[in-house]
Each structure stands twice: as C-alpha cells, then as structure tokens.
Structure 1
Amino acid sequence: MPESAPAPTTRLNKRLADLGLCSRREADDWIAKGWVRVNGQVAAMGLQVGAGDRIDVDPKARGQQSQQVTILLHKPVGYVSGQAEDGYQPAVTLVQQRTHWRGDPSKQRFAPQQLRGLAPAGRLDIDSTGLLVLTQDGRIARQLIGEDSGVEKEYLVRVSYGAALTDVQSAFPAAQLARLRHGLSLDGKPLKRAQVDWQNPEQLRFVLTEGRKRQIRRMCELVGLKVTGLKRVRIGRVLLGQLPLGQWRYLGEHEGF
C-alpha cells in the first residue's frame, strides 16, 4: 500500500496570527516568554503545528494585549508616516500630551510607554493629510495592512485637468473616470476595483481596498489629472470626523474597523 502523504503543518506563529489572536511578531514574543503551549507542552520557537494540535495561550498574553493602544491621528502635510526621511519628521512625534484632542470620548490617559512599539498601520504620504492609524496591537495592524486585508479607505481628492482648475468635472472625459474605477495597473499589476465619484466639480471621492505606494496620485497621473490636495477621511468604520489637524485621540473600546 502506498504511504499516505504527511499531514500539512504550519509554523506556530503563523497559526496564531491566522486564528486572529495576534500578529506573527507578537506570537514570537509570546513563544519566547513561554506563554504558548502546544498539546500541553511549552512551545519552542519555530515549531510546526498541524490542524489537530491543541494550542493554549497564557492569560498573561491577553493582559499584555489589553494594555496596548491604538491612536487615530489627523496627520498634517509635511510629516512622513513611518521612519524619519530626508529631514522630515515622522508622524508619531505628534503623539504627545499637549496634542491629545480634548474632545476625545475615551477615558484613557496618555503615558510615555504607549509610544513603545507604536507603528503606522498603513501609509499616508508626506503631501497628504487626514486619518492615520498608529497601533501597538498586531491584530489591528494585520487587519488593516495584512495580505488579505479588504478594509475600505476613503479619500477626498482635489484635482485639476490640464488648464481646467475649476469645474474639472465638466472637462474630464467620462471614459477616463471609468478607467479610474477599474482598468488601471501600477508596477505591472492590475489595481483592484475602486469607487470613484465626483464629490463636487473640483473634488473626487475615492474608496480603495488596497494601499499601493502613492496609489491615488499615480492613478490620477495615468488619466491626465493632477492631484492638488488629498485627505483620508475614513478607514473601515472609523471616521476622521471632528478630530483637529495635528491632534490625536484613542480608538475607543467599542470602536472597530
């Protein structure tokens, strides 16, 4: 009789992430601390697990997660989303006590340790403004920027078309608007279908489910539009709302993307 094929296995950190418990990086941290058991045994780093293996996570890991914060920042133009570059400040430098929005409905208080491991979950380029998410929580990062993320991101985009600086809507061909919605490629890869509509005669509303580098600006260039202003106003179910420019608030306990 032919031997049956071995049951497929997955690295433990990936299995924990796929279960929605944490990010892979966070899983590695838990494993290193001895907080993960497989079939009753403390798991080793790099362990492969099968579908039938029982995985238990120490309550200490949950306690650590409950202390992690997610911050919503209204990023101004002139700040980069991630690491400092070309003399420009990273957006995280705006997260200080004095820039915490007084209208924040959350009861959380700012503490310096909340800056540790705080990283952007998605980009917003230096020339753009609007909602930027910074998080310590690997689950939220994975939800927003993981390979299988389909979370909507909404933008208001002011444009010009050749000599047309006003009433751009009348000058811009409908066929080109259709290409913005579907049919364009960047870096040799087709873009996912997008929602693109006129918000007013000089401003388009984009809703995307992916985040290629400078995607909207490059999409507009391909159809002859020039972006003169770009603002992100929504990520999933979370709105920029009344959050003032350069200020931030906490993601509320009952909010989610």
Structure 2
Amino acid sequence: MTRSGVRLQKFIAQAGLTSRRKAEEWIRAGRVQVNDRVVTEMGVVIDPSVDVVKVDGHVVEPLPTRRYVALYKPRFCVTTLYDPQGRPTVMDFVTSIRERIYPVGRLDFDAEGLLLLTNDGELAHRLIHPSYGVKKEYLVLVKGHPGKWFFQKWRDGVYLEEGKTSPAEVYLVKRERLGTWVRVIMHQGWYRQIKRMGQVTGYPVLRIKRIAYGPITLEGLKPGKFRELSRQEVRELYRLTGLNREGL
C-alpha cells in the first residue's frame, strides 16, 4: 500500500463492482484484501499499478479509461468495427483513440450525422434499449411533396413488419423541386426504420442526417470529425438512462 494513489473504496467502485458506499460496507465487513492482507479501516490508499486488491478472494481488475465520443459519420461508410467487403468503417475516423470503443447503435451506409461511440457498455446498452426512450433527431429528405396525411401518419405510427411504430414528431423544414426536407424526432430504432416508414407511406427516403442523440448534437462537427463528450454531457446521458456513476 502507498500514501499516494486512489482510495480503496473508490478503486472498487470505479472497477464497476458496486457503489462507493457499498464498497465501504464490504471493507468494514472484512471482505476486502490488499496484497493478501484484510483491510477493514477507511482511508486506505492504494496504487492500482502495484497493489493487488481482492474482494471475497477474487482479484479486482481496474476498468480501462472510459471514453465517450461524438462522431459526424460521413455518408458511405459502415457502422461496424470491420467490413469484410473492404468498405470504410466509422472506426477509420477515430484511430487516434487508444482505447477500444464501439458504436452506439448504427446509421445506414448512406446515412450521415451524429454517432456516439464508447467503451461504457452499460451506458451504450441503455441508450439503445427502447425502454429508456432516449430521443434521436433527424433531418430527412423524402421524394415528392407530402401533404397532411403523411405527417399525421408518422405521428400516429406506421405499421411495419415488427408492428406499429411508436409515434414520431415530424415537422416540415422546406420543400425543394423534387423533394421535401422534414425534421423527425423518434424514441425508437428499428432496423432501417425511417426508410421503411417512407416506403410504406409512399414517399421514399432519399437522405438521412442525424442531428441529435438525446442532449448531444452535431454542433461544431464536420463530416469525418469527432470530439470527446464533456463531463456534463456524460452526466446528462447517465441521468436520462437512470445510471448513477461516481467520479463524474
């Protein structure tokens, strides 16, 4: 044990085993060892690179540094770690990140816009899971000039193979000669859902650009560029998904 480093209970919490308060209870109960010596007092500081911590006889491995990235995914690249067809992947744009991070959900090959990447598996799972209802916002170009029926249909829900879609917020942005831009806010993410909704309602989707994922936006990003999320942004994602993480 060392006088400089991290407090024992914080180390256990950061390893993802439990909360800091619960870790203190484990220490008092004699369930924690440092270098094979049982520790029951508070205030012990360890050096994770040297000291071996065990809980109930099992070694506690520190988690890698958590990374949270917002990428402006360009069109015509796949949202995978590797593509057997040799197409560009979103990972080609985050090579300067040393930690192994993963896309949160996906965007179609020809879609563009905001994509989150992280190595925080629990947060990623909750962001994707429909029960947490984290909203995603898109600019969508549909072929033609839809009328009120189209907007109402998307707001009410469209019947697809999986069933009826959840109501979406849909707003007219602008009409062009051959198509119409609409803003779509959804809390759902079925496979190619927006494209299929357009097909079913008679207005094929020509372009998709995701501009927001929960509180995170594309502001300040250009295609192929990324930025690290701020601590406040990560806190907000935790709040939206019901996570409670210490140290942020």
TM-score relative to the length of structure 1: 0.64
1:205 has 2:183 as partner? yes
Aligned CA-pair RMSD = 3.0
- The aligned length equals 187
Aligned to 1:158: 141
The SS at the match of 2:205 is: strand
Aligned to 1:127: 110
Structure 1 pair 151–206 and aligned structure 2 pair: CA distance change class (3 A)? same
Aligned to 2:195: 217
Shift of 1:123: 1.0
In 2, Cα distance between equivalents of 1:221 and 1:181: 16
C-alpha contact (below 8 Å) 2:157/2:168 kept by paired residues: no
Which protein has the larger Cα radius of gyration, Structure 1 or Structure 2? Answer: 2
**What's the % identity of the aligned pairs?**
30
Q: Which has the higher contact order (CA 8 A, sep 6+)?
A: 1
Shift of 1:138: 1.6
Shift of 1:224: 1.0
Shift of 1:75: 0.4
| Aligned amino acid, residue 182 of structure 1 | D
Give deviations 1:96-142, integer Å, cap 9, x for gaps: 34xxxxxxxxxxxx4x2x1x2x1111111101000001110123202
Structure 1 pair 242–142 and aligned structure 2 pair: CA distance change class (3 A)? same
Give deviations 1:129-186, integer Å, cap 9, x for gaps: 000011101232023112522000000011212xxxxxx2xxx231122111123122
Aligned to 2:131: 148
Structure 1 pair 240–85 and aligned structure 2 pair: CA distance change class (3 A)? farther
The range that moved more, 179-188 or 133-142, is: 179-188
C-alpha contact (below 8 Å) 1:123/1:211 kept by paired residues: no
Listed as ranges, the gaps of 5+ residues in structure 2 are 1-12, 33-54, 238-248
Shift of 1:190: 1.2
In 2, Cα distance between equivalents of 1:77 and 1:85: 18
TM-score relative to the length of structure 2: 0.67
In 2, Cα distance between equivalents of 1:254 and 1:197: 29
C-alpha contact (below 8 Å) 1:80/1:88 kept by paired residues: yes
> What pairs with 1:233-244 in structure 2 (closer than 5 Å)?
233-244=211-222
| Aligned amino acid, residue 211 of structure 2 | V
Give deviations 1:8-46, integer Å, cap 9, x for gaps: xxxxxxxxxxxxx99xxx97xx69xxxx97x9769xxxx
Aligned to 2:38: none
Structure 1 pair 95–191 and aligned structure 2 pair: CA distance change class (3 A)? same
Aligned to 2:74: 76
| Aligned amino acid, residue 115 of structure 2 | L
> For 2:168, which of 156, 176, 194 is the aligned residue?
194
Structure 1 pair 142–188 and aligned structure 2 pair: CA distance change class (3 A)? closer
Structure 1 pair 88–40 and aligned structure 2 pair: CA distance change class (3 A)? farther
The SS at the match of 2:199 is: helix
> For 1:185, which of 159, 162, 172 is the aligned residue?
159
In 1, Cα distance between equivalents of 2:107 and 2:212: 12
C-alpha contact (below 8 Å) 1:142/1:149 kept by paired residues: no
C-alpha contact (below 8 Å) 1:155/1:206 kept by paired residues: yes
| Aligned amino acid, residue 242 of structure 1 | G
C-alpha contact (below 8 Å) 2:130/2:187 kept by paired residues: no
